[in-house]
Amino acid sequence: MKIQVRTGSLPEHMTEAAVVTLFEGETGLTGVTALLDERSGGLIGEILHRGDFTGRTNQIAVLYTRGDLPVKRIVVVGLGKRLDFSPDRLREAFARAAQQIRSLNISEFSTSLNIQNIDFPLERMAEAAVEGVILGLYQFLPFKTLDREQSREVAGFTILVAEEGTYKVIRAAAKTAEIISAAATFARDIVSTPANEMTPSDLANEARESAKGRNIRCTVLDAGQMNELGMNALLGVARGSDEPPQLIILEYRGGKKSSPVIALVGKGITFDSGGISIKPSDKMDQMKTDMAGGAAVIAVVRAAAELGLPVNLVGIVPATENLPGGKAYKPGDILKSFSGRTIEVVTTDAEGRLILADALTYAGRYKPAAIIDLATLTGACIVALGDHVIGMMGTDDDLKREIRVAAELTGEKVWELPLWEEYHELIKGDAADYKNSGGRAGGAITAAAFLSKFTGGYPWVHLDIAGPAWLTKEKPYIPKGASGVGVRLLIQFLRNGYRMGKK
Ligand code: BES
Ligand code: MN
Ligand code: ZN
């Protein structure tokens, strides 16, 4: 889809559909909305005064102007109560409008961001609108050969700005939003792609492709190199599969040489059968999504480079399948991790923390100012927080605060779980240093306690995205399926400039 920013007045603009938003219970029309109403003979006023349209969240009305002005249709979307407004409301409203427009087979539409008297700068509004449109129209179609004509695309979205003076900032904001949304949809595509088409080698190729033509260096370690380093936790998990494991490393140096590195680590299990501790077959197909963390990390590094963010970033994605093969690792096995610490395998289904252990240790090579890992790590996190929330655990209060700030801006919900000493007790090993499961109780937290042993004392936050990575029911700007969760969150975190200039 082509996103454009132009100067001009919406009522004078030749467009198939003009989108305007209205707050709930506000019937006095202002600005562009008032102009459109006037020029169309009171079409908007009429639905308000008849009570057909109240402005409740994501309510929508399509009005036909019948040749009275160059705008062929007016699409009115409800924003809910003014007091509850946030950029997320706008993402939702524009996603809803764009979906309606697609369902009417309209090829192109426009808006002029008419919201008045709101505390958010216009460029943030523009960003939210563009994100809502792109994310809301997302479809995953590469494997569809039937009914393709029903899944048509909207070709254009134009934002009109009134003055020359704001044109540049809005233009830049739209571009930024396009890059961020493209990163999120890129992650969605990778997660949606089934495991037979997204093996660890395929994932490594996606990373290589992402690095190409951008200011990113991609290195991929193979099993031989991992073996030389002693990454036996990662290699242990990989042993049950014929697909070779890959350790993907993406480096983007957009900051000063002296600025610290931020390390992002993403779980890249391209299929999790559970291994010898095999999962029930019901819903096992969903385990193609077990690389959502890894996909997000690749997407974030790519977007950081495209945005030219002034940060030094490394993305690390340990990638393998978890399968029960003749050479597979077994419950009771003891693995010597890259860190030197030994791990007793209680269950081969707690594989994510094993591959992350070695990847986190590897991140220590960069002496990072922060390590953030993203992983579809535990079903227990879904039990604790539900499907819509990212579980956050970590060792650094500053870092956690910064993640919360970013989450507030992107609408991705994050909730902290504690990491108290009692939980660490539960993962102490009998025959080895640690064991890879602390049992059912507090499972999301004991998983994090395990990870913490491999963070080398660097400021670290773990984000468990098992719940929100895959939606079984659509949300306004997240269609059913892969959500791309964490991508916008981490880009926002980087844009906010965490510890820039500090050691
Ligand atoms: N990939 C799963 C976690 C998961 C479950 C993600 C459901 C998304 C939806 C992870 O590898 C796993 O199997 N975790 C186990 C750990 C347990 C065996 C200690 C779990 O949560 O049951
Ligand atoms: Mn598992
Ligand atoms: Zn897993």
Q: What is the pLDDT of residue 193?
A: 98
Question: What distance in Å separates the CA atoms of residue 452 and residue 12, rounded to the nearest whole number?
Answer: 59
User: What CATH number was assigned to the domain covering residues 182-495?
Assistant: 3.40.630.10
**pLDDT, tens digit (0-9, with 9 covering 90-100), for 453-464:** 999 999 999 999
Query: pLDDT above 70 covers what percent of the chain?
Result: 99
Question: What distance in Å separates the CA atoms of residue 265 and residue 455, rounded to the nearest whole number?
Answer: 11
* Active-site choice (81, 124, 208, 279): 279
SS3 content of the chain, % helix, strand, coil (to 5): 40, 20, 40
Closest CA to 258 of 503, 461, 452, 469: 503
Q: What is the pLDDT of residue 208?
A: 98
Residue 503 clears pLDDT 90, i.e. is over it: no
Tell the residue number behind the tokens 């160059």, with chain if given.
70
Amino acid at 192: S
CB distance 481 to 473 below 8 Å? no
Residue nearest to atom 3 of ligand 1 (CA): 378
Q: What is the pLDDT of residue 501?
A: 44
**pLDDT, tens digit (0-9, with 9 covering 90-100), for 103-157:** 999 999 999 987 777 788 999 999 999 999 999 999 999 999 987 766 679 999 9
- 446 close to ligand 1 (CB < 6 Angstrom): no
Domain ranges of the chain: 2-137, 182-495
Residue nearest to atom 8 of ligand 1 (CA): 466
Q: Which residues pair with 71 in a beta bridge?
A: 15
Find the 352 Cα to ligand 3 centroid distance in Å: 5
Q: What's the half-sphere exposure (Cβ side, CA atoms, 13 Å) at 70?
A: 10
The pair phi, psi for residue 473, each rounded to 5°, is -135, 135
**pLDDT, tens digit (0-9, with 9 covering 90-100), for 245-296:** 999 999 999 999 999 999 999 999 999 999 999 999 999 999 999 999 999 9
Find the 115 Cα to ligand 1 centroid distance in Å: 44
Q: What is the pLDDT of residue 151?
A: 65
Residue 193: CB partners within 8 Å, gap ≥ 6?
142, 202, 288
**pLDDT, tens digit (0-9, with 9 covering 90-100), for 47-61:** 999 999 999 999 999
Q: What is the pLDDT of residue 119?
A: 83
- DSSP for residue 277: S
The answer to whether residue 353 is catalytic is yes
User: What CATH number was assigned to the domain covering residues 2-137?
Assistant: 3.40.220.10
Question: What distance in Å separates the CA atoms of residue 9 and residue 140, rounded to the nearest whole number?
Answer: 35
Find the 350 Cα to ligand 1 centroid distance in Å: 6
Q: What is the pLDDT of residue 426?
A: 98
CB distance 291 to 268 below 8 Å? yes
The answer to whether residue 239 is catalytic is no
Residue 96 clears pLDDT 70, i.e. is over it: yes
Confidence of residue 5 (pLDDT cuts 50, 70, 90): very high
> Which numbered atom of ligand 1 lies nearest the CA of 381?
21
Find the 362 Cα to ligand 1 centroid distance in Å: 23
SS3 labels along 199-254: CHHHHHHHHHHHHCCCCCEEEEECHHHHHHHCCHHHHHHHCCCCCCCEEEEEEEEC
**pLDDT, tens digit (0-9, with 9 covering 90-100), for 204-233:** 999 999 999 999 999 999 999 999 999 999
Q: What is the pLDDT of residue 463?
A: 99
- 351 close to ligand 1 (CB < 6 Angstrom): yes
